[in-house]
Amino acid sequence: GNSVTQMEGPVTLSEEAFLTINCTYTATGYPSLFWYVQYPGEGLQLLLKATKADDKGSNKGFEATYRKETTSFHLEKGSVQVSDSAVYFCALRGGSQGNLIFGKGTKLSVKP
């Protein structure tokens, strides 16, 4: 069945450091891929998405490229801020039902 695997956290970085959070997936067909972010005490917010191979999603300085050959959708940001501290979830949507399948999440802490 479909599944998503994320790198385990927590990840602790200093402000302005480079961020990579790895995400790989298993799916039949051509799923859409998403990154959601969850700030403390809040629901999930869509960060970015990609719907087909080689698409690059980007938002707020974050980027991720849909790599079908490696079944990956790694999240990157060139210079993190303290305000980026949150839990990041990689997800896929495939099949006719439309429900999202999530990874376990990666907690990011950015220190000043």
Partner 1 sequence: DTGVSQNPRHKITKRGQNVTFRCDPISEHNRLYWYRQTLGQGPEFLTYFQNEAQLEKSRLLSDRFSAERPKGSFSTLEIQRTEQGDSAMYLCASSLNRGGQETQYFGPGTRLLVL
> Using CA atoms, how far apart are residues 60 and 72, in angstroms rounded to an integer?
21
- Cβ proximity to partner 1: between 67 and 93 the closer is 93
Which token pair is 47? 């960060």
Q: Which is nearer to partner 1, 4 or 19 (CB)?
A: 4
For the CB of residue 109, give the shortest distance to partner 1 in the complex, in Å.
15
CA separation (Å) from 78 to 61, 92, 98? 7, 24, 32
CB of 16 to partner 1, least distance (A): 28
Residue 13 Cβ vs partner 1, minimum distance, rounded to whole Å: 20
> Residue 78 CB, nearest distance to partner 1 (Å)?
25
> Which residues of this protein are in contact with partner 1, per CB under 8 A?
4, 32, 34, 36, 42-46, 49, 51, 89, 91, 93, 96-105
Q: Which is nearer to partner 1, 41 or 112 (CB)?
A: 41
21-52 as b/e: b if 16+ CB within 10 A: bbbbbebeeebbbbbbbbeeeeebeebbbbee
